[in-house]
Amino acid sequence: MKETTEELIISYDRMKEQIEKELISVYDREGAVDLASPQISFEKGTTRISFGAQPITAGMLVDFLAVIKRYIAHVRVHSFDSGYYAFQAMNKNLFKTENMLDNFKVEFFVLSASSKVEISKKGNLTQEEINLVIELFQQARASARQDPAYRLKLLGASIVEPDKDLDWDYIAGYDEVKRKIRESIILPIRNPGVYDSIARMTRKVYEPNRPRAILFDGAPGVGKTTAARIIAGEADIPLVYVPIESIMSKWYGQSSQNLSQIFDASEDMGGSIIFLDEIDSLAGSRDQNMFEATRQILSVLLRRLDGIDTAASTITIGATNRKDDLDHALISRFDQTIYFPLPNATERAAIFSNYAKHLAEAESFNLGEKSEGLSGRTIKDICEFTERRWARKVLIKSLEPTAPPFEFYKQTLRMWNETK
Ligand SMILES: Nc1ncnc2c1ncn2[C@@H]1O[C@H](COP(=O)(O)OP(=O)(O)OP(=O)(O)O)[C@@H](O)[C@H]1O
Ligand SMILES: [Mg+2]
């Protein structure tokens, strides 16, 4: 009986229908999956089916092979170069190699950010082979679900890649803020053992004493998000960036458990820094008319920050520019607030020199004096605006390109102050 099902050749249309049906059910369950969508074709007498997958690791390859071996007794390794692996079914008679290249074949193309699985065979597939394709697809999905980075992406969060051009020098001034970040975030993350051993010496009942949650508070444009990106490069653990505002709209109508899953995925990476940007979207006191979804997300967050559901290796940073409007229960969960003030005159001068390095010290100083109340972002905008104005002038007057003169910066700043 088994022999006959194995040999049962299925028409192309019936095969396509079966495979598509199986894939659609996965998409329905998991929502949009941002890997290359499956392709099914029949060209020059060959059936070809391909789909996108996670970058294939050695472990995943073993899992795929286990699936293949369950269906095909004798498989030949066709290629085992790094980045390209191919496995081919052998003929029933193992000693006969004729037309073997027409047999069922599975190829894995591994790229840096994704990979592709391609199945091909001359002629139509048998029912067993169709089942194998479906199982390979399911295996690829199962591996993806285990990959924390991929899970985070599906949830609207992302892992910030360290940027080697971005370090603390990029932020002019703010020595006090930088010191606090170094002491309360970077040091504990880099030396967890020291903190733990002290806690073991002091506590009757051991509890980790590392800071778990820190709030970045400050006006718009003072470098809170930029600081998070710099921390990503300095810490030896991944920084998970969670833009609360945008994920809330993305999850509209969905369960607040998504936030919980972000925490879970972050912990599956063996510790991480979770940066919750713009938590102002959770503002509003709880007794006011808060949206149900917001209320639920807030309650998940409160629980996670309490640390009951959270591994000790995770540090959460929240950023806000409306601390006073935040829920009091939420504020109380943060061990420490790092306040990012607006830059003082010296710092404003330094920010001007960061974005207009050709100016003389006295010139930056002058601009710094005249820009009271402006944030780093506004100063950067003023410098960019000045460059564009100057570029237009250079073009119109057919001048050799030079850096904008001091006068131009002064003018832009004056215009800015007047329209304020
Ligand atoms: N002290 C500074 N030195 C240099 N650049 C700065 C400084 N402060 C801010 N900037 C620049 O301003 C821009 C905005 O900063 P960032 O996005 O980090 O601000 P933010 O505090 O997160 O603001 P928001 O609250 O609006 O999210 C960045 O491009 C950053 O480089
Ligand atoms: Mg920001």
Q: Are residues 18 and 60 in the same domain?
A: yes
- CATH assignment at residue 92: 3.30.160.110
Write the residue with the smallest CA distance to atom 16 of ligand 1. Answer: 223
355 lines ligand 1 (CB under 6 A): no
Question: What is the structure's pLDDT at 252?
Answer: 61
Residue 380 CB less than 6 A away from ligand 1:
yes
Confidence of residue 92 (pLDDT cuts 50, 70, 90): confident
Q: 325 C-alpha to center of ligand 1: Å?
A: 21
* Structural domains counted in the chain: 3
How sure is the predictor about 3, in pLDDT bands with cuts at 50, 70 and 90?
A: very low
Residue range 317-338, pLDDT digits in tens: 999 999 988 888 899 999 999 9
**pLDDT at residue 84 greater than cutoff 80:** yes
Residue 413 and residue 406 in contact, taking contact as beta carbons nearer than 8 Å: no
Question: Residue 151 falls within a domain, yes or no?
Answer: no
Token representation of residue 386? 């000045």
Same domain? 319 vs 413: no
Q: How far is the CA of 228 from the centre of ligand 2 (A)?
A: 9
Nearest CA to ligand 1 atom 23: 221
Does 165 lie in the same domain as 309?
Answer: yes
Q: Is residue 153 part of a domain?
A: no
171 in the same domain as 308: yes
Do 204 and 158 form a contact (C-beta atoms < 8 A)?
Answer: no
Closest protein CA for atom 26 of ligand 1: 220
Whole-angstrom CA distances from 120 to 40, 72, 82, 103 are 10, 14, 21, 8
Confidence of residue 1 (pLDDT cuts 50, 70, 90): very low
Let me know if residue 131 belongs to a domain. yes
Q: What is the CATH number of the domain that holds 359?
A: 1.10.8
357 domain-assigned: yes
Stated length of the chain: 420
Residue 280 counted as domain residue: yes
Q: Count other Cβ atoms within 10 Å, centred on residue 187.
A: 15
Statement to judge: residues 169 and 296 lie in one domain: yes
Q: Which domain holds residue 167?
A: 158-340
Same domain, 21 and 166: no
d(CA 38, CA 141): 12
Q: Is the CB of 240 under 6 A from ligand 1?
A: no
Tell me how many degrees the CA angle 229-233-238 measures, rounded to the nearest 5. 85
Q: Are 179 and 326 part of one and the same domain?
A: yes
Greatest Cα pair distance, the chain, in angstroms, is 92
Q: Which residue has the tokens 């992406």?
A: 153
Q: Decide which of 252 and 27 is more confident.
A: 27
pTM metric for this prediction = 0.77
- Residue predicted with more confidence, 276 or 55: 276
**Ligand 1 in contact with 317 (CB < 6 A)?**
no
Are residues 411 and 267 part of one domain? Answer: no
Residue 222 lies in a domain: yes
Cα-to-centroid distance, 218 and ligand 2 (Å)? 10
